Structure 1
Amino acid sequence: MVKTSRKSKIFSIVIAVALMFSMIATIPAGNTASAKDNLGLHVKGAILIDADSGKILYEKNADQALGIASMSKMMTEYILLDAINAGKIKWDQKYKVSEYAYKISQDRALSNVPLRADGEYTIRELYEAMAIYSANAATIAIAETIAGSETEFLTLMNKKAKELGLKDYHFVNATGLNNAQLQGMQPDGTPANAENKMPAKSVAKLAYHLLKDHPEVLKTSSISRKTFREGTDDAIKMDNWNFMLPGLVAEYKGVDGLKTGTTDYAGQCFTGTAKRNGTRLIAVVMHAEGPQHIARFNAARTLFDYGFGQFTTEEIVPAGHTFKSQKTVAVNDGKDSNVKIATKDAVSMMVKTSEADDYEAKLVLDKKSLNAPAKKGTVVGHVEINKKSGKDYGFIDGSVSNADVVTTATVEKASWLSLSFKKIGNFFTGLF
């Protein structure tokens, strides 16, 4: 059984001290955020979004593809949870260790839980090792279980990325390691020293959809500590690499996920999520500079403080709102020649508290007319939210959600006789 060593305890103390001093050094005068569009982050890329609406609250160099390291495992988690929900994979399903997974698992310079060459492990065990401890061999094992090989798993990663609308992504393996660390066993057709890359905006979009489609991922990502194979000779303690979780050295109230990443190329990376008072935020930090293992959490803390401290969710337009510029749309061959339209739901989003009055709603009509019969609730357009002045970052998915504009009544088709008289009337109107 592997137990926590005195060396690891000393490491935790050192990290805690480093965190204390780095936090003191980064707290601005008066504990307020710096310039409007510059939080003073020492990172190559970053983004902060509202996890509910996808509203982007802040971004810095968010469109440049950078190394993502083990944040790649969010994609592996996504594909696994899809397979679980579809019944293609079972949690209690057994995996027999491949030579590839075994050899990688024995490299303790990497984040790993050692696997036995002749061992069998459940998918749940492997998933927890991946999500909590970023175990690389466990990730390879999951990829092999789903697709037969990591090479084939790359096809699924690319397919899912395209489906989600991610941009500028580049996957060479399931783990996020540099291929040079895979002992010559990297997926077929990938370079020997390549790494996974993606812009911060695409990483945030991946996390956004992961939480939307599989919120259960937080049940595992929120576990601060767990023992792999507890009660056996192979037991090993897994401390979550997300130090912002409860009880860990960079603890931040409300944090319950999501995934860290570190390689020489990618630097310190982190996709974090936190929930306070019903509001959930997602922060992505790419290649943070500063104290080892702590810089990424300092940057995430700054982003979370900014989001929770300066933004509120405001209702921009209420449900049933009508626009003066267009109150109806025409109905062809209907008992009525037009029908009233209004917003289906209230449209709300996170905005800076000081800028709540700077936003206005604009009607975008997708259908200028309908053919009878036209049912109540037929979507004819959507609401576009515009900022009157200053910078607005938009939405991670391109537009505000729940913004449909619909018909407020049903218009039945007119009778044959009524349509005939109408056509005759139109004829004589056109004639004279």
Structure 2
Amino acid sequence: MAIRYLPCSSSVRTAALALGALVLLSFPASPAAATDVPAEPAPPRPLPAYSSTLLDRPGVQVRPGPAAPGLPADVSALAWLVADARTGEVLAAKNAHRPLPPASTLKSLFALTALPHLDAEQRHVVAEHELDEVGDGSSLVGVAPGRAYRVADLWRGVFLSSGNDAVHVLARLNGGLRTTVQQMRAKARELGARDTQVVSPDGYDAEGQVSSAYDLAVFGKAGLAEPQFARYCSTAVARFPAGGWSYRIQNTNRLLTGADGVAPYPGLLGVKNGYTSHAGATLISAAQRDGHTLVVTVMNPQTGGAQAVYEEARSLLDWGFAAAGKVQPVGSLLPPQQDTHAAPNPAHAAGTATVRALEPDDSDWPAVLLVAAGAVTVLAGVVLALRRRAVSLARRRNTARRYPD
């Protein structure tokens, strides 16, 4: 009777060795493994400090501790928000995501979008058609057709005089009004500003153009992190060219300049104010004190007159500095993927758990390498056993051929 056997070919041995190598290479090397120094245990992940849905609720949201000061009673704005500009933690808010017309505070998003694309030292001769679509009654810095301006001069016209004429020229340099609007929409989504709908880059009243106290705070926080933006928005006074001479322009943010009977706010960094008859007064303010930087947004105060937006921002800044460390955050200005406190999306919970199971932290590497080494040893043993069996079967086959039944 002939004996049947399965030969151990070179392809089998190669496949087995390749499998062993694949097991080893599937675990990337780490510094801890290379130096044989065990990694420190990873710290526990922080527990959520707030519900990610709190800011979606209407009305005032605040979580005061025992020593926290009470919120100011004189704030009448339809929506407002106070946040830590460094961490993004929202300390308190009212109607954070209520869509409202933003007026010229939308220029902050325009600057975030276009500033990186334009050379501040570039000189440009303004064409008449570049000013054709500036809205009637717009705030202007005085851009004149046929005159040459540096891009930096135009940006000062945007931030200090809220000049819609300067915005339109810069938007043309950025690829055109339509292109700039599309870029602004994309930038808002990138920053997690889901309430903002852009129709015009200058914030001029347009049907469907809205933002929110939350989104404006996101723009303010992002702007402070950009050196050019931060420099422009904190400039109180500058000179604007007019051919062979120049004239003085002053920032329309009264908290920065102290104009019109509004006392300047100590440590103010900017950011942008706005007003239209449809939007009312709007403001993004930021200030620094004792190592803390706050960003405050105020949209459309209902009482208090023309300067109410500045006084209400002042009250909220004072409260925010006094409340630092004494309140629990009610949300975050960071996009969801950057917000370490945000609750995970239940729809992705299973997938997230699977990914984490396949991605051990540094403290697991010694064990991982030990397992990998063991796997390679086992595979080598399997290959050797198969080879010995093949040799044995071959000998038996030869014997069977010599001595048939």
Q: Same fold (TM over 0.5)?
A: yes
CA distance in 1, matches of 2:371, 2:364: 19
CA distances 1:160-214 after superposition (whole Å, capped 9, x unpaired): 11211211211111101124xxxxxxxxxxxxxx2631121111112222223x1
**Corresponding residue to 2:152 among 117, 124, 131:** 124
Instruction: Specify the SS of the correspondent of 2:115.
Output: helix
Alignment of 1:282-293 (within 5 A): 282-293=295-306
Give the corresponding residue for 2:191. 164
Could you tell me which of 290, 293, 296 is aligned with 1:277? 290
1:304-348 C-alpha deviation (Å, 9 max, x unpaired):
010111213xxxxxxxxxxxxxxxxxxxxxxxxxxxxxxxxxxxx
Confirm whether residue 91 of structure 1 aligns to residue 120 of structure 2.
yes
User: What stretches of structure 1 of length at least 5 have no aligned partner?
Assistant: 1-32, 84-88, 180-193, 313-350, 353-386, 424-432
| Cα distance in structure 2, aligned partners of 1:117 and 1:231 | 11
- Specify which of 108, 111, 114 is matched with residue 80 of structure 1: 114
Measured after TM superposition, the shift of residue 272 of structure 1 is 0.4
Q: Is 2:349 the counterpart of 1:407?
A: no
CA–CA distance in structure 2, aligned partners of residues 400 and 416 of structure 1:
35
Flag the 1:105–1:406 CA change in 2: closer, same or farther, 3 A: same
CA contact (8 A) 1:43 1:289 kept: yes
Pick 1 or 2: higher relative contact order, CA cutoff 8 A, min separation 6: 2
| Structure 2 gap segments, 5+ residues each | 1-66, 343-359, 380-405
Residue number among 311, 316, 320 corresponding to 1:303 in the alignment: 316
Q: Which residue of 2 aligns with 1:42?
A: 76
Output aligned runs, 1:54-203, within 5 Å.
Answer: 54-83=88-117, 89-102=118-131, 109-147=137-175, 149-179=176-206, 194=207, 196-203=209-216
Structure 2 matches for 1:228-239, cutoff 5 A?
228-229=240-241, 232-233=244-245, 235-239=246-250
Report deviation, 1:68.
Answer: 0.3
- Contact between 2:100 and 2:212, CA under 8 Å: does it hold in 1? yes
Amino acid corresponding to residue 175 of structure 1 in structure 2: D
Q: Judge which range, 110-119 or 158-167, deviates more.
A: 110-119
- Asked if 2 retains the 8 angstrom alpha-carbon contact of 1:65 and 1:197, the reply is yes
Aligned residues: 293
- Between structure 1 and structure 2, the one with the greater Rg is 2
Deviations along 1:27-84, whole A, 9 cap, x unmatched? Answer: xxxxxx998467441101000100011000110011110010001111111122222x
Shift of 1:238: 1.3
Structure with bigger strand share is 1
Structure 1 distance, partners of 2:275, 2:373, is 74
Q: In the alignment, residue 396 of structure 1 is paired with which amino acid?
A: L
Which has the larger share of helix? Answer: 2
Among the aligned pairs, what percent are the same residue? 24
Q: Deviations over 1:261-287 (max 9, x none)?
A: 101111000000000111100000001
Structure 1 residues 38, 170: closer, same or farther in 2, change over 3 A?
Answer: same
Partners of 1:266 and 1:93 lie apart in 2 by 34
> Who is 2:13 aligned against?
none
The equivalent residue for 1:209 is 222
